Amino acid sequence: MEEKAKAEQKKIGMTETWLKKHRLLYNGATRHPLIISIRDGTINTASFKTWLAQDYLFVRAFVPFVASVLIKAWKESDCSGDMEVILGGMASLEDEISWFKTEANKWGISLSDVVPQQANKNYCGLLESLMSPDAEYTVAITAFWAIETVYQESFAHCIEEGSKTPPELKETCVRWGNEAFGKYCQSLQNIANRCLQKASDEELKRLKLCC
């Protein structure tokens, strides 16, 4: 039975195995009430402004995390192409932070006054733990893929045919839900799958990928 499971993982990819195993958790993230309210046009302005402010703080913490993944790729990856893919993500973050500042100004948000909520502190704490020298590249790159993919699939849902996303939020949704970003997430998934195929049982346990 164990050999059969491993053969299936190799066939469809370890990340697909994870998505299959944790579908409820994944759906809870990509179909969060905030996303659903944006898609059906019932989003409360105050809720959106709270998300925008909190996500700005998260993205600022995300920058050093991605930098650490880049360093781990340089030290541990067996494929030189990994660095180019990760560097592409790094390059986009400067523009992303500028976008948040512009949007905050448009919505009347003072970013300097934003206090991180507990959930945000927990997420940032997770990123910090993955920046540790003891955290393996495989674990970090898989987390990077998962974070970016949740963003992409969530906001792509808001621009699908039949959505009622308010016009003033379309730019936000297209920013993460666009096809090009989807292809970037696919590149990260390919890297993660390659690394996971060679990962130790201990690494897989930390990612909850073991059967």
What is the per-residue pLDDT for 40? 97
pLDDT score of 203: 77
pLDDT of 210 over the 50 cut: no
Q: Could you give the CA distance from residue 201 to residue 97 in angstroms, rounded to a whole number?
A: 37
Report whether 148 contacts 188 (CB < 8 A).
yes
Residue 6 placed within a domain: no
Residue 12 to residue 172: CA distance in whole angstroms: 32
Q: Is residue 27 part of a domain?
A: no
Q: Is 60 a domain residue?
A: yes
pLDDT confidence band for 36 (50 / 70 / 90): very high
For 40, the domain range is 33-210
Chain position carrying tokens 């600022």: 60
Q: Does residue 85 lie within any of the structural domains?
A: yes
Q: Taking the mean position of all CA atoms in its chain, how far away is CA 115?
A: 22
Give every CB contact of residue 208 below 8 A, 6+ residues apart in sequence. Answer: 18, 21, 22
pLDDT at 160: 96
Q: Based on the structure, what is the number of domains in the chain? A: 1
Residue 126 located in a structural domain? yes
pTM score, whole prediction: 0.90
Q: Taking Cα atoms as reference points, which of 150, 179, 162 lies closest to residue 39?
A: 162
Residue at 104 is within a domain: yes
Question: What are the backbone dihedrals phi and psi of residue 188, each rounded to the nearest 5 degrees, phi first?
Answer: -65, -40
Phi first, then psi: give them for residue 3, nearest 5 degrees.
Answer: -65, -35
Q: Does residue 150 lie within any of the structural domains? A: yes
Q: What is the CATH number for 134?
A: 1.20.910.10
Banded pLDDT at 1 (limits 50, 70, 90) = very low
pLDDT in tens, 9-23: 554 588 998 889 889
| Tokens linked to 200 | 């130790």
Both tokens assigned to 40 = 């059906």
12 part of a folded domain: no
Average pLDDT score over residue span 46-62: 98
Residues 117 and 51: beta-carbon distance below 8 Å: no
